[in-house]
């Protein structure tokens, strides 16, 4: 019943089936163990393309394998509210991303510079919640857990199934992760 | 010992002194019970004042009792990166806030319009955590708890005392609140 | 062949099957004929919710029938990079949108004020392009066509089918619309 | 000699011809004496127009008599970096500005709401500086001078003539205004 | 007659003098043929200068030959709504741009780093439209036309002469360019 | 008396005790004499941390010795209004700042790149104003004074003591500095 499932009252139920809480390490270590990798930041300032197309470029960039893509509002000449389009990618994707920008937008030039990226070692831990199993991304720094982030898409899907707020599911997953520490 | 206090291992200790977790309702209901109140939004676009002074105006606005004060970057004429300064206040403070803007900034005019603000009924609940007692602001919508926010300043102070990450203390407070549900 | 279809060379092909260009008025007049309607702007400043959740709220707002939903970066107290969440909706949806904000975010209060919205009368016209049929939204002001915007989602789908740039398809649709004027 | 004119050394010269500093009240009182006037804020969110055109709309808005026009970067649906275009105008210009937006942009709808604007009474005072005469806009609140802003365009022109930094001329004008207080 | 010239009806006239549409290649190839050049990005965060002066710096930067200059709103310490001023320039202009920043603003330090810029080969093609001749900047990637952008200033001037919307002229120029493909 | 002290009338008093104006060079030359130093820019895009925590990170970064720390609003995937957190620091602080980001935020990776920073030589000059002594930071470029900025915190404290606008005190300090040039 939704009324029971939603709200913090739901928390109580969680502790009843406490012994059943299961924690499974399903993910291998990912990312260079606190090492640095070299990536490229590709940037272009756009003042003559519609935001519709710029949004499309973000979708395409991720489809093509960009590490990240984001926009920054910038103020350009002649009172133009421009957009700084940034793509973070591996060296062997640099040409591909440049071609994406040149083909989909009207830019005549794009900049690039190398950056060093340091990533934390991370594992995936699956925890049980009253909203179903949720994977938690666990990051370690110097052997200590510094982050435990529930997978967004799984939380959103679970929240829609149970018809509760997304933050309910995220909190439940974080709670389950902490609980499972002592099993 | 910091190493033990920080990181999620700390979670374990929490459950040991579990029976001692105390939850005290210390706050009276605040805010109109889901009713609406009339407030004024005062806005002025600034293109000839240094950001140093604009930051000072925010401090002053809160000192004078503004409900809220925030800045929005706006693009103004002649390629000026301006700032939209917004102050939300009660009707009887409107004149005072106008005078603040006219005195501290160089604006020659300020706009205002009335808005209806709907607030949730909220109480303060104090919970015990391994980082000490933390007040949690609990908001109700239609009789159901929809939010439980640990007090930021208390969490920050506790995090600095224990030399742990702020998010550690916030999570511990949220956890303690959920735990205390079943006592 | 992709190489032929992409690039402006494709334009040529367009004119070959020119006599076949078909234009069908498929849309009824929409929106109040240049009249004004009353809508509500609902706003809340958020400084204690993760952007992940804020993005989710936008999806939910549109699912629930909001006329529009958008975010504005604002600078809030204590050096917080906050977000002004704005929802434009009909009067009978005001309560629903308020509940969305109170349930999904941690806001304790939301503002609202009435705005008058003037919309142009518009029709949907379907045009043929070498990338397939595309609907064009045509807006009239004082009986004169002032806008002809190809439907974004159709253009994007067609661009992906033909493996050409989105702007290629949008230009082709605009061109076909102008061409069909004289048939 | 430029080298002598630029830099603060220039300040010294200023005081030599001190007795000659002239101050002339050339401006009549302007603006409603601290009274409020009703204006309209016209807003539209744009996600399908190039920044080039948006910049052009600002120029046109001012040419047509808008009190103010500015842009705010907003994040719209489908990952679009949109622009909130705002025009502040008198009631009898509302239709004209709406038509500007509908004609020059591709927006299908624009919002409007009334705001009260409070302006300070102001006069124009001309002061003499080593860079030539500069008009200073002086604003009064409750009979007390609260602002004295040198006219930007005059300062910029003078700075270019003397080949000094714009801030040099603005400071010189502010200084001259304060000096002339005691003549 | 203006009423006839404006609106899409104008499109019809365009095709009447179709055979007369002339296309002249007037521009030499520009920019390194898809090669990369080294440029410098100069950046400084400003929190104690008025936007009026920052806007002036942009004008000066372009006058002095900067490749690009733009502003990004940033949130700085002590609740200051600062501005990140960015200048892109050639290596031999780096000192000049630094001096501009130090002289016109109050910054005490500016950062710089080298970026690689890849530009497309481009030509200028003049096309005839009912609004007069317009130059179109045509960019090639791997021998294929990927962009055809009408010159903004020419379009704006033509739009003002004909008293039509700027987007009308830009569309007409794009259309004429595509038409001329098959002559 | 406050009424007399505030407003520009205060300026007059300044000149009465003119002979007493004292200027003391109290600061040693600071910063590399217009030389360049190497610094690191550390950046991370945050889309899953609350602004409350991000604001806290800025405080911590400065406590730990960052040269600068600022936020830029960025638009990230899935309609998230993210924040680009930037920290400028010395090379030997790079690890410390990375650890700050990994510990206090939930980021899994942070970028870094080296930048060259050019700083102006500067001295501190103390001037007397009717609001008390104020330190002025004086910067030189090629042996010429290009900036004279009153210390913000001293001006703010003085403004609060005298109950005048902050801009009053800043102007008085700038004026006193110029005056003292000729003593």
For chain B, list the contacting chains (3+ Cβ pairs, <8 Å): A, C, D, E, F
Q: Who has greater pLDDT, C33 or E4? A: C33
Residues of chain D with pLDDT under 70: 1-34, 181-183
Give chain E's end-to-end CA distance (angstroms, integer).
30
As given in the structure block, the two tokens for residue F124 are 């501190």
State the Cα–Cα distance between residues B146 and C105, nearest whole angstrom.
Answer: 9
**Neighbouring-strand partners of residue A40:** A89, A114
State the Cα–Cα distance between residues C175 and F28, nearest whole angstrom.
Answer: 69
C169: left (phi over 0), alpha (psi -120 to 50) or beta: alpha
For chain D, list the contacting chains (3+ Cβ pairs, <8 Å): A, B, C, E, F
Q: B85 to chain E: nearest residue by CA? A: E81
Q: Inter-chain contact E145–C7, Cβ cutoff 8 Å?
A: yes
pLDDT at A27: 61
Axis-axis angle for helices E166-180, E9-16 (nearest 10): 30
Write out pLDDT tens, residues D30-46.
Answer: 554 557 999 999 999 99
Q: Please, what's the largest Cα pairwise distance for chain A? A: 66
pLDDT at F96: 97
Q: Who has greater pLDDT, C6 or B127? A: B127
Interface size, chain B vs chain E, as Cβ–Cβ contacts under 8 Å: 58
Pick the closest to residue D174 from D153, D155, D160 (CA basis): D155
Interface size, chain B vs chain D, as Cβ–Cβ contacts under 8 Å: 69
Whether B87 contacts B61, CB under 8 Å? yes
Q: Inter-chain contact C54–F81, Cβ cutoff 8 Å?
A: yes
Q: Which helix (H) or strand (E) holds C41?
A: strand C36-46
Q: A104 to chain C: nearest residue by CA? A: C165
Q: Given pLDDT bands bounded at 50, 70 and 90, which one contains residue C67? A: very high
Which among D116, D118, D122 has CB closest to B113? D116
- Could you give the 3-state DSSP secondary structure of residue B144? strand
Distance from the B119 Cα atom to the nearest Cα atom in chain E, whole angstroms: 26
Average pLDDT over residues B84-99: 97
Write out pLDDT tens, residues E43-99.
Answer: 999 999 999 999 999 999 999 999 999 999 999 999 999 999 999 999 999 999 999
Axis-axis angle for helices F51-63, B166-180 (nearest 10): 140
pLDDT at C30: 53
What 3 state SS string does chain E have? CHHHHCCCHHHHHHHHCHHHCCEEECCCCECCCCCEEEEEEEEEEECCCCHHHHHHHHHHHHHCCCCEEEEEEEEECCCEEEEEEEEEECHHHHHHHHHHHHHHCCCCEEEEEEEEEEECEEEEEEEEECCEEEEEEEEEECCEEEEEEECHHHHHHHHHHHCCCHHHHHHHHHHHHHHHCCC
Q: Inter-chain contact A111–E39, Cβ cutoff 8 Å?
A: yes
State the Cα–Cα distance between residues B36 and B34, nearest whole angstrom.
Answer: 7
Average pLDDT over residues B159-163: 95
Q: Inter-chain contact F113–A116, Cβ cutoff 8 Å?
A: yes
Residues 6 or more apart whose CB falls under 8 angstroms from that of E183 comprise: E21, E23
Provide, rounded to the nearest whole percent, the portion of chain B with pLDDT above 70: 80
Q: Inter-chain contact A80–D47, Cβ cutoff 8 Å?
A: no
Average pLDDT over residues A120-142: 92
Q: Which of E80, E83, E86, E106 is the mutation pick for testing B, counting most B CBs within 10 A?
A: E80
Report residue A165: phi and psi, to 5°: -70, 145
Q: Let me know how long chain C is.
A: 183
Tell me how far the alpha carbon of residue E49 is from its chain's centroid.
27
State the Cα–Cα distance between residues B108 and B61, nearest whole angstrom.
Answer: 18
For chain A, list the contacting chains (3+ Cβ pairs, <8 Å): B, C, D, E, F
pLDDT at E28: 56
Whether A128 contacts A172, CB under 8 Å? no
Q: Given pLDDT bands bounded at 50, 70 and 90, which one contains residue C25? A: low
State the Cα–Cα distance between residues D148 and D123, nearest whole angstrom.
Answer: 10
Q: Inter-chain contact E167–D104, Cβ cutoff 8 Å?
A: yes
Write out pLDDT tens, residues F12-37.
Answer: 333 333 334 456 666 655 554 557 99
Write out pLDDT tens, residues A8-60.
Answer: 333 333 333 333 445 666 665 555 455 799 999 999 999 999 999 999 999 99
| Confidence check: pLDDT of C134 > 70 | yes
Report residue B56: phi and psi, to 5°: -65, -40
| Confidence check: pLDDT of F99 > 70 | yes
Q: D95 to chain C: nearest residue by CA? A: C118
**Cβ contacts of C112 on chain B, cutoff 8 Å:** 115-118
Q: Please give the angle made by the CA atoms of C166, C168 and C172, to the nearest 5 degrees.
A: 120
Q: Please give the angle made by the CA atoms of E45, E47 and E53, to the nearest 5 degrees.
A: 90
Q: Given pLDDT bands bounded at 50, 70 and 90, which one contains residue A142? A: confident
pLDDT at D159: 96
Tell me how far the alpha carbon of residue E101 is from its chain's centroid.
23
- Could you give the 3-state DSSP secondary structure of residue C73? strand
Q: Given pLDDT bands bounded at 50, 70 and 90, which one contains residue F42? A: very high
């Amino acid at each position: 019943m939704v009324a029971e499932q939603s709200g913090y009252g739901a928390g109580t139920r969680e502790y009843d089936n406490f012994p059943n809480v299961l924690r499974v390490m399903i993910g291998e270590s990912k990312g260079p163990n606190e090492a640095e990798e070299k990536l490229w930041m590709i940037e272009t300032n756009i003042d003559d393309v519609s935001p519709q197309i710029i949004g499309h470029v973000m979708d395409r960039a991720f489809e093509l394998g960009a590490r990240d893509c984001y926009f920054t509002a910038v103020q350009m000449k002649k009172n133009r509210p421009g957009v700084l389009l940034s793509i973070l990618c591996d060296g062997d994707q640099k040409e591909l991303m440049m071609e994406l920008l040149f083909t989909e937008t009207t830019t005549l030039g794009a900049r690039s510079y190398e950056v060093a990226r340091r990533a934390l070692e991370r594992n995936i831990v699956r925890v049980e919640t009253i909203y179903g199993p949720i994977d938690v991304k666990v990051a370690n720094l110097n052997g200590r857990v510094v982050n435990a982030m529930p997978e967004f898409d799984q939380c959103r899907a679970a929240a829609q199934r149970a018809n509760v707020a997304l933050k309910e599911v995220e909190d439940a997953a974080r709670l389950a992760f902490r609980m499972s520490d002592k099993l």
